[in-house]
Every structure is written in C-alpha cells, then in structure tokens.
Amino acid sequence: MEQRWGLPLIAWPSRLRPNLWDLAALPLVLGALALVAWGGMAMGAHYQLGEPLSISLDPWRLPEYALRTVLRMAAALVVSLAFSFPYAALAAKSRQAEKILIPVLDILQSVPVLGFLSITVTGFIALFPGRLLGVECAAIFAIFTSQAWNMTFSLYQSLRTVPVELTEAARMYHLSAWQRFWRLEVPHGVPPLIWNMMMSVSAGWFFVVASEAITVSGQSILLPGIGSYIATAIDQRDLGAIGYALLVMLVVILLYDQLLFRPLLAWSRKFRSDADAEEYDVRPWFLLVMQRARFFDLLQSTVLALNRSLDRAIVAGSRHWMPARETQPPSAAAIRLFDLGLLAVASAAVVWLVAFVRQDVSADEIGWVVLLGALTALRVVILIALASLIWVPIGVSIGLRPQIAERVQPIVQFLSAFPANLLFPAAVVLILRFDLNPEIWLSPLMILGTQWYILFNVIAGTAALPAELKLVASNLGVRRWLWWRRIMLPAIFPAYVTGAVTAAGGSWNASIVAEVVQWGDTTLHATGIGAYIAEYTAAGDPARIALGIGVLCLYVIAFNRLLWHRLYELSIERLRLD
C-alpha cells in the first residue's frame, strides 16, 4: 500500500470525494444552519411578561425581521405537514373516522385565526416561563392554523382518489398497508400537496400581521417580524415603511421560490407516469446543485438507508404482531350505533352552547344572527362563483403551458402572499370618494386573499392531466365547449373542489376583518356574521362571540356537507368509473 509521511493512504470512493458543486452547496448549507441557529437563539431569549418589545421602522432592520418571520412560517409548515399526513390518512381510510374528522376540519377552518390565538397564547406562555419562546410558539400556532387545513384537505382528496389500477397493482405485489401508503398513496398526492404548500405559505402572509401582534392580559406584544413592522407602519401611517416591507417580502418570496418550491415542484414530477412529464422536465439551478453535489448525495444515501431500515422494521413488526387476515367491515348495527353516539355528542354540544348563549341573549337576537349568517353566506357563494369564472380558465391556460407556469409561479405567489388587509384603507377611501354602497363593495375584500386557492389547485390539476388524454382529444378533434365538458372540467374537478372548499372557508374567516374596515377615524360596516363577531370581540362579550362563531361554524358545516362533500363523492365516483 502506498504511504505518505509514514501513513498508509486510503482511496476514497469517488462518490465521497468533494467536487466543484460542493463549493456552491456547502456555503448555502452552512449559511442556512447559521441563520437557523441565530434565529433559534433569538426566539429563546429571556423575556418577562410586561417588558416592552419595540419595533423600529428603520429599513435596515427589515432583513432581521424577515428572517424571524420566515423561521416562524417554516416551523408552522413543518408542523402542518406532521399534522396533515396522519389526519388525512385516517379520514380517508376510515369511514367512521371521516364522519368526525372532516366536520371537525370544517369547524377548525372556519374559526378565526384570532380566536385560536386568544385561546392558546396564555397556555404557551405558561409552558415557557421567563422566555420569549412561549409567545413565539403562540405565533407559530396561529400561522399553523392558516396553513394546515388547506394542506390536509388536499392530501385527503388525493388519498380518496388513488386510481383503481394502482391499488390493484399494490395488491398484486402484496404491499403492506405501510408500504402502500408511502410507495403509492403519498407519491400520488405529492404534486397537489406541494402546490397547496405553496398556497398555504403564501396565504400565511395574510395572517402574519395578526400572529405577530399578540395581546395578553391587556398588554400588546409585538414580536420582531415583518408583520409587526407592517402593523407599526399602519399605526403611524408611514407609507414609505410599508413600501420597504413589501419590497423585502418580494425578495423573500423569490428566495423561497428558488430555494424551496421550484426544486420541490421539479422533484414531484418524478411521480408522474405519463409521457407528458418530459415536457415539464425543467430542472431549476438549486435542484441541479443538490443533485450534483457529493454532499447532498451522501446525505440522501444516509436518509434512504435509514428509511429502508425503518421500513423493513415496521413491516416485520406488523407481520409479527398483526398477522395477515381479512379485515371484516363493521356490521350495519355497529355503524348505526356509532352514528347515534356521534349524533348524541353533537346534540349535547349544541344544547350546551344554546344554554350558555341564552343566559345573556334573547331568542330574537339568535334569529337575527342566523339571518346575518345567511347574508354572509350569500356573499361567499357569489364571490366563489365569480372567482371560479375568472380563475378556472386562467389556471387551465397556465397549467397547459409549462414554460408559462414556470414564469407565472413567483408572480402568483407574490400576489397570494400580498397582505390583502393593506388594501382595506384604499377600499375605504374609494367607497367614500365615489359614494359606493359598503354592503356591496366591502364584499370583494373577503376573497382577496383566498381566491388564489382556486387558481393554484386548478393549475396543479391541469398539470397532472395525462398526456394520453390530451392526445386522444387532439386526434378525435375535440374542441371548444365539448373539450371543456368532456375532457378538461372532469379532469380538474377534484382539484377544483379542493381549492373551492379552502377558498370558501378562508372567505368565511376573512369576513370578520372584511365586513368591518377602518382607516383612521373612519369605519365602514357591512351587515353580516363577520361584522357581528368583530363587534362583540372588541366589546369582550363571550356569549355573543360564542353565538357568532357557532352560527358561522354551522353554516360552514352545512355548506360542506350538502355541497362540497357531495361534489367530492361525485369526483371520486367519476374517477373510479374512468
């Protein structure tokens, strides 16, 4: 063996030797780790409730604030993924669990983000006494509530619509439930999930102002971040500071588009089995760096080896502890008993809520609040219909053109991330200037931040359209309305339903801030359940807050059960027939 300085030389395998791509990858990785470590130390700083946290409008502080906000949103995204996989899987695979989990998800989606924040902030602060981490966790949880529901709905819809031929192939290969989930069902749901992750992160910017400005025991806490920077700029009417914040937001969106979502989208195309996937085979620069750098290759090999070991251990354990046998479906009597128990629990909850509300609220007022909910429901239905007429054709046009989709993606991300509440003062000025009716012209504010759910899901559904189907339509000369009715609308229908459900839920949520708009000393009101909840939240009336949120949740559940759930079942049935 060759020796140097008296020591034997060991030949490194070629895959372990650094190359030129590692020179680009290593600084990025080390820089990211350093920034995360610095942000983590800042989050865990010492803090006593009552200490002021001042926010400076100096533009040079914005990079620091942007990093703090991005770390919160990244933490919320990780928690949202950890929540979505088990929740969606259980709801999709168990009909009994679905009867509980999906209505609960409907309710969670309709509860205002501020409602979650006011309930949880005290508990988080108690978990970490003397540390800022408690307030940080409350802010992360608030952002989580703006991201998780959309991602969960998307994954649930994908797990319910796995093609029958793929399920049959999994049975032929005798895959266990664990293997079938990770090797078939999750890959099938990855492309729409990534699109909805993009939408969730972008939509999180809408709530970042509320999540970083927290009130506890009458004290307002402004966490360092872009949201609190914008809130301070609005409070001081500093348009220049708002402009700087929007510019930094644009830079941040472009960065996570280049470093996260473009590589993820390109990676997700490997799960497409049709010939049209080659048309979308555009590898972004950061994905090239990760694929060619030996550092990432070694890291990937390590992760894959651990994953294979875990997979084998779980499969072996499941076969040892749960021997293969045909699972018997529950009997009709058991299903009926479960449904009766579920109905009894729901009825008891309604009775308790009515008893709590009736202590301070008359029956006439309850009827009036139900009518207010109907007015807001009318606004939501009209807005979703208008948004669908606008964004479905545009989303299909973008999804059919991969090159355009690559260019449009960051633009749509910025538009969806733009805090729509910054436009509320402009709406007040225009309504007063042209003497417009607030009942009508405040309504579009409800969908400014949620309409993008429809666009993102339609683009994802169109991009997943099999190439064979497009070739058949072209060969048969299917054109115009027949093409829409027979080819495109059925193909994108499941994805559209997912987008419409989350857009409608977001609109109900946004009604609380859109039906009452303020700029300076001027306040405009639109009649609806959102304005009712906002009014009594400011007054601190728990009975009427519970009444308003309860009626809002009942409307959301009714719409989802009577309309969206049936559309889901229709889309699943059509896929099975195909």
Concatenated DSSP letters of 377-401: HHHHHHHHHHHHHHHHHHHHHHHT-
Which of residues 227, 251, 273 is at a domain's end?
273
Express each pLDDT in 518-548 by its tens digit: 765 677 888 898 888 878 876 768 788 888 8
Residue 230 belongs to domain with CATH number: 1.10.3720.10
pLDDT at 110: 67
Tell me, yes or no, whether 448 lies in a domain. yes
Over range 412-421, report the average pLDDT: 68
**pTM check: above 0.85:** no
- Confirm if 66 and 248 have CB atoms less than 8 A apart: yes
pLDDT at 97: 83
Give the Å distances, CA to CA, from 444 to 246, 420, 447.
Answer: 22, 11, 6
Q: Are residues 256 and 368 in the same domain?
A: no
The mean-pLDDT minimum among 75-89, 93-107, 280-294 falls in 280-294
Q: Are residues 217 and 74 in the same domain?
A: yes
Q: Are residues 248 and 108 in the same domain?
A: yes
Q: Using a CB cutoff of 8 Å and minimum separation of 24, what contacts does 353-358 make?
A: 353/546, 353/550, 356/543, 356/546, 357/543, 357/544, 357/546, 357/547, 357/550
Tell me, yes or no, whether 266 lies in a domain. yes
Tell me, yes or no, whether 291 lies in a domain. no
Q: Are residues 267 and 366 in the same domain?
A: no
Tell me, yes or no, whether 2 lies in a domain. no
Tell me, yes or no, whether 242 lies in a domain. yes
Tell me, yes or no, whether 339 lies in a domain. no
Q: Please state, in angstroms and rounded to a whole number, the distance separating the CA atoms of residues 125 and 557.
A: 32
Q: Are residues 269 and 386 in the same domain?
A: no
Tell me, yes or no, whether 278 lies in a domain. no
Q: Are residues 249 and 389 in the same domain?
A: no
Q: Are residues 140 and 265 in the same domain?
A: yes
Alpha-helix residue ranges (DSSP H) falling in 322-362 = 332-358
pLDDT at 394: 92
Which of residues 236, 258, 273 is at a domain's end?
273
The mean-pLDDT minimum among 144-153, 270-279, 419-428 falls in 270-279
Which of residues 273, 307, 333 is at a domain's end?
273
pLDDT of 499 > 80? The answer is yes
Q: Please state, in angstroms and rounded to a whole number, the distance separating the CA atoms of residues 273 and 278.
A: 10
Q: Are residues 266 and 366 in the same domain?
A: no
Q: Are residues 218 and 78 in the same domain?
A: yes
Q: Please state, in angstroms and rounded to a whole number, the distance separating the CA atoms of residues 335 and 184.
A: 29
Express each pLDDT in 68-81 by its tens digit: 898 898 999 999 99
Q: Are residues 250 and 399 in the same domain?
A: no
Q: How confident is the model at residue 161 (pLDDT cuts 50, 70, 90)?
A: confident
Q: Are residues 500 and 395 in the same domain?
A: yes
- Number of domains present in the structure of the chain: 2
Containing structural domain, residue 190:
58-273
Task: Report residue 476 as tokens.
Answer: 């048969």
Q: How confident is the model at residue 371 (pLDDT cuts 50, 70, 90)?
A: very high
pLDDT of 5 > 70? The answer is no
Express each pLDDT in 189-237 by its tens digit: 888 888 788 878 877 777 777 678 776 555 677 888 888 888 788 777 7
Q: How confident is the model at residue 379 (pLDDT cuts 50, 70, 90)?
A: very high
Q: How far is CA 193 from the centre of its chain?
A: 9
Tell me, yes or no, whether 8 lies in a domain. no
Q: Are residues 243 and 389 in the same domain?
A: no
pLDDT of 327 > 60? The answer is no
